[in-house]
């Protein structure tokens, strides 16, 4: 009898580990699908515009096409509530939404490469906007799927696996896109990126359904889906301070990111050199940051982790001044960009893990999307002014000012996590 119990316990343990590994692989591949279009609407868009001799102000303002990332919480309740005919029954609710988003992404990415921004700027911007919209919709579904498929103590691993995939997707579109654009054309490069998204749809199809999708529970009304998540969050302790902190977190990183590619191209580096130094060698820092970031989530309390990561993000902006004042050097570019990627990954992991810990309920998609949308405000709306700042104060002052944007979030973290402890 004892041997039977031991055997059953071992078998259950093996099954759990197998399921965990399978789920982590799935969220890794979905992370690729999530990261790839973000780079296309980010650094790839900016590199393409720079190639077409578009000025810095316009490049900065066109960052507004990614506003769907900031406001995806508006339609996230619909994703929680509405089923897609046939697909929801066959694949599961969240998986069906992921697949539909991926199909639209494939079409829009290929179309994006066919439009000349010099002669069709309006259509170029519209295509980029809807590309960001379906990318944001996909993110809503992937994030909610990850939260539901993993236990609370697995969220750190899930966040790391997602960001690993996310970064691989960014490398594919960042490195691959730049290489193909330099050797062939932007049209060919973006067609290839659409094919990569097509390949990730297979992971979506074979992924497991979440437990709630296997239950025949009566669904609440659509109004309840909008109302309850908001009311649940308002009841959270220090909810308004959490909102402000999340909105300001990594603001310095977002401001820097809005102009990094135009800055490096303006400094005289080619697309191939950028791909080699920043998108390839520089990614060593990314993967090191993801690994250390996941470890820090397990070892440090959320407040300490968030504070430490934001300090690193602030410091990572300043070394870019060296690129501007020193002679052209690919190794210097790789090291500085690698350090920025390292700090960015650590801060991403810290924030994703913290938000995930707040979002473990049946309204996970809405709850998580609201918080992550707020983090994107800095990346889109605020950073759209970056081009004006560059043309007003120059590159060196731009990097100093962007680093100072970390201070408001550091103050919020202090008030949220440390003020009461010090007073006590």
Per-residue model confidence (pLDDT) at position 98: 92
315 in the same domain as 254? yes
pLDDT of residue 378: 63
Between 119 and 206, where is the model more confident? 119
Chain centroid to CA 135? 10
Last residue of a domain, one of 146, 180, 210: 210
Is 400 in the same domain as 344?
yes
Classify residue 108: in a domain, yes or no. Answer: yes
Q: How many Å apart are CA 345 and CA 343, to the nearest integer?
A: 5
Number of domains composing the chain: 2
Q: Would you say residue 58 has pLDDT above 60?
A: yes
Query: What percentage of the chain has pLDDT greater than the value 70?
Result: 85
pLDDT at residue 343, as a whole number: 93
Stronger pLDDT, 423 or 27, i.e. the higher one: 27
Give the end of a domain, one of 140, 175, 210: 210
- If asked whether residues 44 and 103 sit together in one domain, one would say yes
Residues 198 and 72 in one domain: yes
Percent of the chain with pLDDT over 90: 42
Same domain, 199 and 244: no
CATH number for position 93: 1.20.1250.20
Tell me whether residue 34 is in a domain.
yes
Tokens of 188: 């060919």
Q: Is the pLDDT of residue 235 over 80?
A: no
In a domain, residue 412? The reply is: yes
Q: Are residues 164 and 287 in the same domain?
A: no
Q: H helices within 93-238, ranges in order?
A: 93-112, 121-149, 155-171, 177-183, 186-206, 222-234
The predicted model gives 281-289 an average pLDDT of 82
53 φψ region: left (φ > 0), alpha (ψ -120 to 50), beta (else): left
Do the domain assignments include residue 220? no
2 and 130 together in one domain:
yes
User: What residues contact residue 298 under an 8 Å CB cut-off, 6+ apart?
Assistant: 156
Instruction: Report the chain's mean pLDDT, rounded to a whole number.
Output: 84
Q: Which of 216-230, 292-306, 371-385 shows the highest mean pLDDT?
A: 292-306
- The C-alpha atoms of residue 7 and residue 27 are separated, in whole angstroms, by 30
Per-residue pLDDT at 215: 41
Q: Is 215 within a domain?
A: no
Whether the per-residue pLDDT at 1 is higher than 90: the answer is: no
Residue 219 located in a structural domain: no
Q: Which has more confidence, 101 or 26? A: 101
Q: Mark whether 258 and 370 lie in a shared domain.
A: yes
pLDDT score of 395 more than 50: yes
Mean pLDDT, residues 327-355: 90
What pLDDT sits at residue 216?
46
Domain boundary among 177, 210, 243: 210
Is the alpha carbon torsion for 110, 114, 115, 116 positive or negative?
Answer: positive
Domain presence at residue 399: yes
Residues 186 and 273 in one domain: no
* pLDDT for the residue numbered 107: 97
Q: Which residues contact 97 (CB under 8 A, 6 or more apart)?
A: 79, 84, 137, 140, 141
pLDDT per position as a tens digit, 127-175: 999 999 999 999 988 988 888 787 766 677 787 788 889 888 988 998 8
Instruction: Specify the pTM.
Output: 0.77
- What's the domain range around 195? 1-210
- Residues 1 and 93 grouped into a single domain: yes
Asked if residue 380 has pLDDT above 70, the reply is: yes
pLDDT at 177 over 50: yes
* 339 found inside a domain: yes
Torsions phi, psi for 383 (to 5 deg): -70, -10
Position 19 pLDDT exceeds 80: no
What pLDDT score does 275 carry? 87
pLDDT of 318 > 50? The answer is yes
pLDDT tens digit sequence for 60-110 = 999 899 888 878 777 877 787 778 887 777 778 788 899 999 999 999 999
Considering only 71-75, 341-345, 399-403, which range has the smallest mean pLDDT? 71-75
Q: Do residues 240 and 381 both lie within one domain?
A: yes
35 within 8 A of 169, measured Cβ to Cβ: yes
- CA nearest neighbour of 88 among 210, 171, 179, 250: 210
Predicted confidence (pLDDT) at residue 226 exceeds the cutoff of 70: no
More confident residue, 263 or 2: 263
Same structural domain, 241 and 325: yes
Give the Cα separation of 124 and 120 in Å (integer).
6
Of the pLDDT bands very low, low, confident and very high (cuts 50, 70, 90), residue 248 is confident
């Amino acid at each position: 009898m004892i041997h039977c119990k031991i055997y059953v316990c071992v078998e259950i343990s093996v099954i759990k580990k197998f399921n965990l590994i399978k789920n982590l692989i799935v969220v890794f591949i979905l992370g690729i699908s999530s990261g790839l279009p973000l780079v296309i609407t980010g650094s790839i868009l900016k590199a393409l515009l720079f190639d077409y001799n578009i000025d810095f102000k316009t490049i900065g303002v066109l960052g507004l096409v990614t506003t769907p990332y900031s406001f995806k919480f508006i339609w996230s309740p619909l994703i929680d509530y509405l089923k897609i005919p046939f697909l929801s029954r066959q694949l599961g609710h969240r998986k069906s939404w992921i697949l539909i988003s991926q199909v639209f992404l494939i079409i829009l990415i290929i179309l994006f490469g066919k439009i000349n921004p010099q002669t069709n700027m309006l259509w170029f911007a519209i295509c980029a906007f809807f590309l960001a919209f379906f990318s944001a919709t996909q993110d809503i579904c992937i994030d909610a799927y990850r939260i539901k498929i993993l236990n609370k103590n697995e969220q750190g691993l899930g966040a790391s696996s997602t960001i690993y995939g996310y970064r691989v997707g960014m490398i594919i579109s960042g490195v691959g896109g730049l290489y193909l654009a330099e050797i062939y054309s932007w049209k060919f490069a973006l067609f290839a990126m659409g094919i990569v998204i097509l390949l990730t749809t297979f992971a979506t199809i074979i992924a497991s359904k979440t437990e709630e999708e296997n239950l025949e529970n009566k669904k609440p009304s659509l109004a309840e889906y909008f109302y309850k998540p908001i009311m649940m969050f308002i009841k959270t302790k220090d909810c308004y301070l959490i909102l402000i902190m999340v909105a300001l977190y990594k603001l310095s990183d977002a401001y820097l990111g809005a102009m990094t590619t135009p800055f490096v191209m303006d400094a005289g580096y080619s697309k191939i050199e950028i791909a080699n130094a920043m998108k390839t060698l520089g990614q060593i820092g990314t993967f090191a940051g993801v690994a250390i970031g996941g470890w820090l989530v397990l070892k440090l309390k959320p407040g300490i982790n968030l504070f430490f990561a934001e300090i690193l993000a602030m410091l990572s902006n300043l070394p870019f001044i060296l690129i501007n004042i020193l002679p052209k050097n690919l190794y210097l570019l790789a090291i500085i960009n690698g350090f920025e990627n390292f700090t960015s990954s650590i801060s991403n992991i810290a924030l994703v893990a913290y938000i995930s810990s707040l979002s473990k309920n049946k309204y996970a998609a809405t709850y998580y999307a609201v918080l992550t949308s707020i983090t994107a405000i800095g990346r889109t709306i605020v950073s759209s002014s970056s081009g004006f700042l560059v043309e007003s104060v120059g590159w060196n002052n731009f990097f100093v000012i962007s680093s100072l944007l970390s201070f408001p979030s550091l103050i919020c973290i202090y008030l949220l996590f440390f003020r009461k402890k010090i007073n006590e």
